[in-house]
Amino acid sequence: MATSWPAPMPWPRRDDDGPVRGRFTFLDQATPIAFAHRGGAADGFENTARAFNHATGLGYHYLETDVHATADAVLVAFHNASLDGVTDGHGAIASLPWAEVAQARVRGSEPIPRLDDLLRQFPHARFNLEPKADGAVDPLITLLRQLDAVGRVCVTSFKGARVRRLRAALGNQLCTATGPLTLARMRLASWLPLGPLSRLVARTPAGCAQVPVRFRFVPIVDARFVRLAHRIGVQVHVWTINDRAEMEQLLDLGVDGIMTDDLELLKTVLQARGMWVDA
């Protein structure tokens, strides 16, 4: 007997949408979620307090950033492993003490923020975090415990082992994104009738799939993928979208979140659809 997939959910989401919104505190906002990618990278001051202040001033509630650990285990919001090129400093962050990293300036003017300072400075914001190296995992576990911030964050990584370590340490209240293996299984399951693979992906502990529209020559985000994700209670967040037409297409598909560098554009698109949720 052929399997019929459910139609995409109506937008904006109702309050009875079940596990897609209700499994994690991080995901308790009505969708679609607007994410400020690296705080808003369009002006070049990505991952700085200046960027995060601008994002929250526009009404963004969800802030995305990368995380590195210094040699003395201080977590900083920064994308690259090295200070070179992006700042006036030099050297790998993991090999430098915080006192030295603190002297570097992004584009010659903005300091690199500590993650603990950001969590305190923006107490009502949700943070989407990507630990960029294994050395950042244990300090992140410690920090989230110290600040009682587990419910405020979602953790993602291309290295599934990092996410598994965080989930094992912090428990099921931690929202995590799917790892590469689960994502690949979800893509395959979305093309197949219900069966063992679909039942396998339905057991994922992740709350969301954070994905590009396509990976190399393989399309990721289409109607089948979104339907499969919603069927198993997983939100779909798409990165990094800076084109209006693409934003509109993704919203028509029913994605649950969009990450962008162009904060004003995404806000305008969502407002026009009556989907903007101001922080």
Res 150 pLDDT > 90: yes
> Does 79 participate in catalysis according to the annotation?
yes
Active-site pick, 37, 54, 61, 68: 37
- Give CA angle at 132 (69, 128), nearest 5°: 100
Q: What is the pLDDT of residue 192?
A: 86
How would DSSP label each residue in the chain?
Answer: -PPPPPPPPPSSPPTT-THHHHS-GGG-SPSSEEEEGGGT-TTS-TTSHHHHHHHHHTT--EEEEEEEE-TT--EEE-SSSBSTTTBS--SBGGGS-HHHHTT-EETTTEEPPBHHHHHHHSTT-EEEEEE-SGGGHHHHHHHHHHTT-GGGEEE--SSHHHHHHHHHHH-TTSEEB--HHHHHHHHHHHHS-SSHHHHHHTT---SEEEE-SEETTEE--SHHHHHHHHHTT-EEEE-----HHHHHHHHHHT-SEEEES-HHHHHHHHHHTT-----
What would the mean pLDDT of 214-238 be, rounded to a whole number? 95
Question: Average pLDDT, whole number, for the chain?
Answer: 91
| Model confidence pLDDT, tens digit, residues 64-81 | 999 999 999 999 999 999
Q: Alpha-carbon distance 70 to 92, whole Å?
A: 9
Q: What is the pLDDT of residue 182?
A: 94
Domain boundaries, the chain: 19-272
Q: Alpha-carbon distance 98 to 70, whole Å?
A: 6
Q: What is the pLDDT of residue 44?
A: 85
Active-site pick, 54, 61, 79, 230: 79
| Model confidence pLDDT, tens digit, residues 191-210 | 987 678 888 899 999 999 99
Q: How confident is the model at residue 34 (pLDDT cuts 50, 70, 90)?
A: very high
- Comparing 85 with 20, the larger pLDDT belongs to 85
| Model confidence pLDDT, tens digit, residues 90-102 | 999 999 999 999 9
Overall fold of domain 19-272 = TIM Barrel (3.20.20)
Q: Alpha-carbon distance 21 to 31, whole Å?
A: 8
> Does 90 participate in catalysis according to the annotation?
no
